[in-house]
């Protein structure tokens, strides 16, 4: 095991924040992970670094999880069970599934990050959430070094949430995820407005999983900044849920307010719309800003510190609270 000293984490987080790891170790197996945890009781686990904002400038000990491998566990006429190890790049895994004609993940194409992080915030896009196809999640419990298996129903999946973000936060490390995908008669999700528009612009009426993946990739590329070019952590806030009565009050003032019904009493409002209405879309403040094509994405235009991004986020939260009486909850992990 090779412990490195004073390593910049800038290349390891999509926000491109220059936090420094005083000690940094890359882990390639569960036994190596156990060994390092026994020696260092306090550490930060880094996966793909795509949903994290470092506000601390110095981080004492960072473990980079590089657990690799994709195993086909069971293959039947209709379904396939696939285990992906936590350190695999998410989008490469999605493309591998599509190339093998395994269906279920195509709407989740081009999401940055590693496979092991997908269940933590139940990644979702264009009408699909990863919980829809997760069968089981394997973890290593930090205190006991016992390995655990969580069935889908144990994971308490919800919108951008799971047990791993709530009571088990910081207690378990996800080591692999098992998916149940289709190997024929795929259930396709292309009702989502932007996907159907993209497919019809290409004249596709009977799409394959590859067509859907390609449509999702071009929509994402047109709206979301490429983290290799402009630092960002995807959607910075969750889309807020509010009561129907509050929504109706807002609708009088803003008749075109977009909304999605959640239950009989609640609606979800796109945070991007609220932020745009409040005048933040496309703004630049020092090294930070709000993306010009999707107001839900905060960006690092250069050498921003994590704390500067957090200050901009707080200003946006204050403004949305004042204007709409809605609290925006941060979706990205802050460390």
Find the binder of ligand EPU among 116, 272, 289, 306 (CB under 6 A): 272
Min separation Cβ 194 and ligand EPU, Å: 6
State which of positions 197-256 bind ligand EPU (CB under 6 A): 223-224, 234-235, 238-239
Going by C-alpha positions, the residue among 69, 64, 67 that lies closest to residue 24 is 64
Please give the helix or strand (H or E) that residue 201 lies within, else none: helix 193-201
Q: Which of 160, 162, 214, 220 is catalytic?
A: 160
Site string for ligand EPU, 165-204 (x = CB under 6 A): ----------------------------------------
Q: Cα separation of 39 and 44, whole Å?
A: 14
Nearer Cβ to ligand EPU (139/232): 232
Q: Cα separation of 14 and 50, whole Å?
A: 5
Nearer Cβ to ligand EPU (174/195): 195
Neighbours of 96 (CB within 10 A): 16
Min separation Cβ 31 and ligand EPU, Å: 33
Nearer Cβ to ligand EPU (175/239): 239
Is 29 annotated as catalytic?
A: no
Q: What b/e string do you get for 237-249 counting C-beta neighbours within 10 Å, with b at 16 or more?
A: bbbbbbebeebee
Longest dimension (CA), the chain: 62
Site string for ligand EPU, 100-139 (x = CB under 6 A): -------------------------xx-------------
- Asked if 331 is part of the footprint of ligand EPU (rule: CB under 6 A), the reply reads yes
Is 220 annotated as catalytic?
A: no
Q: Cα separation of 129 and 54, whole Å?
A: 26
Q: Environment class of residue 65 by beta-carbon count within 10 Å: exposed (0-12), middle (13-18) or buried (19+)? A: buried
Going by C-alpha positions, the residue among 289, 174, 194 that lies closest to residue 236 is 289
Is 129 annotated as catalytic?
A: no
Q: Which positions touch ligand EPU (CB under 6 A)?
A: 125-126, 223-224, 234-235, 238-239, 258, 270, 272-273, 276, 281, 294-296, 331
Catalytic positions, please?
160, 235, 331
């Amino acid at each position: 095991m090779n412990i490195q000293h004073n390593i910049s984490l800038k290349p390891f987080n999509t926000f491109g924040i220059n936090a420094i790891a005083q000690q940094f170790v890359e882990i390639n197996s569960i036994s190596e992970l156990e060994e390092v945890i026994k020696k260092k009781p306090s550490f930060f686990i880094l996966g793909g670094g795509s949903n994290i904002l470092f506000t601390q400038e110095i981080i004492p000990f960072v473990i980079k999880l590089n657990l690799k491998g994709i195993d086909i566990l069971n293959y039947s006429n209709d379904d396939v069970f696939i285990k992906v190890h936590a350190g695999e790049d998410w989008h490469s895994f999605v493309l591998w599934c599509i190339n093998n004609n395994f269906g279920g993940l195509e709407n989740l194409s081009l999401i940055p990050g590693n496979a092991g992080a997908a269940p933590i915030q139940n990644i979702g896009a264009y009408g699909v959430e990863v919980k829809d196809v997760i069968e089981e999640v394997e973890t290593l419990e930090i205190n006991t070094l016992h390995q655990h298996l969580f069935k889908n129903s144990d994971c308490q999946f919800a919108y951008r949430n799971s047990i791993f973000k709530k009571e088990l936060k910081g207690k378990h490390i996800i080591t692999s995820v098992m998916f149940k995908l289709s190997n024929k008669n795929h259930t396709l999700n292309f009702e989502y407005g932007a996907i159907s528009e993209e497919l019809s612009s290409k004249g596709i009426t009977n799409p394959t999983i590859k067509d859907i993946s390609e449509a999702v990739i071009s929509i994402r590329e047109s709206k979301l900044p490429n983290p290799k070019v402009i630092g960002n952590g995807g959607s910075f806030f969750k889309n807020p849920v509010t009561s129907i009565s509050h929504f109706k009050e807002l609708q009088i003032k803003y008749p075109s307010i977009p909304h999605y019904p959640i239950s009989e009493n609640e609606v979800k409002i796109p945070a991007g719309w609220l932020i745009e209405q409040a005048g933040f879309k496309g703004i630049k403040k020092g090294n930070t800003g709000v993306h010009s094509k999707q107001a839900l994405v905060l960006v690092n235009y250069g050498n921003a510190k994590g704390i500067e991004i957090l200050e901009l986020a707080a200003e946006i939260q204050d403004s949305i609270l004042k204007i709409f009486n809605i609290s925006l909850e941060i979706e990205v992990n802050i460390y």
